[in-house]
Amino acid sequence: MKAAEELSRLLESHGVHEIFGNPGTTELPFLEELRQRYYLTLHDAIALGAADGAAQVARGVAVANLHAAPGLGNAIGFLDSARRNRSPVLVTVGQQDLRHADQNPLLFGDFEAMVRGLVKRFHEVRRPEELEEAVERAVRAALEAPMGPVVLSLPMNVMEEAARPTPFSARSEFATDEDVQGIAARLRTSSNPAIVAGYEVDVFDAFAEVGELARRLGAPVYAEPICSRSPVAEGLPNFAGDLLPQSAYIDSMLGAYDLVLLVGADLTLYPYSAAPLLSRERLAYLGSDPSVPTKLHCDRALGELRRLLRAVLADLPASGRSFRRPPDFGRANRVARAASRMGGEFVVDAIHRAFPDYTVVDESVSLIPTMKSVGFYRGKDSYFSSRSQQLGWGLAASIGISLRRPKTVVVVGDGALQYSIQALWTLARYRLPTKVVVVNNTSYTILKSYSKANHPRLTGAEYLDLPGLDIEAIARGYGLDANTVDSSERLDGALAGLRGKDGPALLNVRMDRTVPDLFS
C-alpha cells in the first residue's frame, strides 16, 4: 500500500468522504489512490471555502486539497476566514519532490512560512511512517476547541512510497473548567444581567440551554457582533437583536447591564471608536475560545459550551425577573415603503418568506443587517456567514454546506458574487441543488455607505459602481438555470420559481441602488 492510499484510508476513518480541490501535478500521486469523492472547483480558494462550509455544517473535519505554493497562495484569504470561522478544515497541499528541494524547483515553497499565524498546526510529512501520527495530530488539533484549520504538506515522493503505519492514539475531548461555579455565582448575584450569544451555540447545539439560561435570568439575549451562525433558536422571546461591531454601539446597547455574559461569543470590533469597551468587571465568558476572555481580561470558564451551560444551570435558580423583546411593528411599514423601489427591506422580506425551511448562506454584504433582523436565525444549521466578512466565501462555502443540506440558499451581492464566481460551475457540475439569489444593486454599496459616513467625497466615485455585468448570462455560461427579476410585482413569483427548480439555479434580483446609512 502506498502512503497516498494510507492517507486516504486514515481520512476515511475520520469521516471524510469527500475532498474539494483543484489539482495540479503535485497532487496526482495522492489523487491516484483516493477513496473519497473528489469535488472539482475551478479555483483553489473555492476548494478551501467549500471545505470550510462542509466542516461547519458537519461539525467535523473537511478536507481541501490545494496545489503547491501557487494554490496555497491563492487560498490564503479563505484560510484566514476558516481561522476566524473556527472551522476545522484540514488542508492538504501537494509539495514538490523533496529529493530536489535544495534546487528550489518549480512549485516548491516554504508552506510553513506562508501559513504562519493562520493555522492551528502545520506539518510536512517527510517520511511515510510519520503519516498516521501527522493525520491524527492534525485532526485532533483541528477539532479541539477552539476549532480551526490545519495544514499538511504532502511531498510527491512521500506519497509514492510504501506506507509504514505507526499506530497512534489521539484523544479529543473538552474539559470543563472549575471556573463555572464562579460564573454561576456572579449570575446569581447580578441584578440586571444580559447575554451575548455567539456562533458556538450552533456549533455545540446549545440552543435549549441558552433559552433556559435566558428564561431563568429574565435577561435579553443579544447576538454577538458579526455573528456567523444562528445564536438562538427560532422564536426565542428573549432575543433582542444583533450587536453592531463598534465599541460605542456595544456600550450603548449593553451599558445598562451589571453583568454581560458572553456565551460562545466574541466582541468583534470595526470600525474604530474612541469609546472604551465595557469594563472587564462587567464581562464574563463561557465558551471554547481562550483568546476572547484573554483579550477582554474577563472571568472565564473554558470548555465545550453545552456542558458549561448545563453546569451553570445546575446551580442557578430562577431569578423572578422576566424579559420579552418588544414587538417590531415598524418592520411591516419599512417593507411596505421599500416595495415600490425594490428596496432592501422588501427584497429580504420576500426571500425570508420564500425560503422558510432553507439553510441560508448570507453574503448580502450591505443587506446583512436587514437579513439578520427579519428572522433568518432559525436554530441549528439555519444561517451561515463568514466571521471574516471575506467576499467570495459564501458561494464557495455553499458547495460544502449543500452536500449535507440540500435545501441551501445563498444570498449574495453582485460584487461579492464575482470573487468566487467559478463556484457556480462546481454547483452545476455536481448538480448540487443550491439556490443563489443575487441581490444586485450594481455597486459596492457597503463602500458607498461607509464613504457616505466617513469620506463623503468618495460616494460618487465611479470605481464603486459595477455596470455592465450580465449576471444571468454569466450564470448560464457556467451551466446554471438563471433568471432576472426587476419588479416588485414579480418578485414573489420569481423566488417561487427559483425554489421550484430541481438543480442549482440563480435569480438575479435587480434592486434599489439607494445607499443605506449603515455607518452613521
Partner 1 sequence: MKVRAVLPPFLPLEEIERRVNAILPGVDVVTSVDAPGKIPPAEVEVLILTTFHDFTASALTAYPSLKFVQVASTGYNRVDVEACRARGVMVANIPVANSKTVAEHVILLALALLRDLRGLDADMRRGEWPMLTGANDLAGKVFGIVGMGRIGRELAARLVPFETSTIYTDVVALPAEEERRLGLTRVELPELLSQADLISLHLPLTERTRGVVGAAEFGLMKDQAVFINTARAELVDPLALRDAVTRGKVRAGLDVYPTEPPDFSDPIFQAPGTAFTPHIAGVTFEAQQRFLQETVKNVLRYVQGKEPLYRVDAPSAPP
Phi-psi region of 331 (alpha: psi -120 to 50; beta: other; left: phi over 0): alpha
Specify the amino acid at residue 119: V
Q: How far is the CB of 211 from partner 1 (least distance, A)?
A: 23
Cβ distance to partner 1 smaller for residue 167 or 326: 326
How wide is the angle at C-alpha 152 spanned by C-alphas 204 and 99, nearest 5°?
175
Residue 388 grid coordinates: 471574516
CB of 333 vs partner 1, minimal distance in Å: 4
Cβ 489 to partner 1, closest distance in Å?
A: 11
Cis peptide before 165, with omega less than 30 degrees from 0? Answer: no
**Closer CB to partner 1, residue 327 or residue 456?**
327
CB nearer to partner 1: give 3 or 335: 335
Nearer to partner 1, 182 or 497 (CB): 497
Strand partners, 194: 260
CB of 347 to partner 1, least distance (A): 13
The least CB distance from residue 362 to partner 1, in Å, is 22
Smaller CB distance to partner 1: residue 15 or 493?
A: 493
Burial of 47 (0-12, 13-18, 19+ CB in 10 A): buried
**What kind and span of H or E run contains 39?**
strand 37-40
Instruction: Quote the cell numbers at residue 209.
Output: 440551554
Kindly tell me which of 239 and 393 has the beta carbon lying closer to partner 1.
239
Q: To the nearest 10°, report the CA torsion of 410, 383, 152, 21.
A: -20
* CB closer to partner 1 out of 331 and 476: 331
We find the least distance from the C-beta atom of residue 482 to partner 1, in angstroms, to be 27
Residue 11 · residue 132 · CB < 8 Å: no
Closest among 132, 179, 424 to 302, alpha carbons compared: 179
Q: 273 by DSSP, 3-state: which?
A: coil
Residue 409, CA distances (Å) to 26, 70, 358 in order: 35, 31, 6
Question: Which residue number, 6 or 349, has a Cβ lying nearer to partner 1?
Answer: 349
Asked if 151 and 115 count as a contact pair (C-beta separation under 8 A), the reply is yes
Q: Distance between CA atoms of 388 and 251, rounded to whole angstroms?
A: 22
Name the helix (H) or strand (E) containing 263: strand 259-263
At its nearest, how many Å lie between partner 1 and the CB of residue 330? 4
**Minimum distance between the CB of residue 369 and partner 1, rounded to whole angstroms?**
18
Q: Which is nearer to partner 1, 287 or 343 (CB)?
A: 343
Query: Toward partner 1, which CB reaches closer, 114 or 339?
Result: 339
Q: Measured from the CB of residue 453, what is the shortest distance to partner 1 in angstroms?
A: 21
Angle, in degrees to the nearest 10, between helices 3-13 and 131-143: 30
Grid cell, residue 400, equals: 460544502
Contact 338, 344 (CB under 8 A): yes
Residues that bind partner 1 (CB under 8 A): 327-330, 332-337, 339, 349
User: Is 383:226 a contact under the CB 8 Å cutoff?
Assistant: no
CB of 180 to partner 1, least distance (A): 40
Q: Which candidate, 225, 19, 4, 218, places its Cα nearest to that of 95?
A: 4
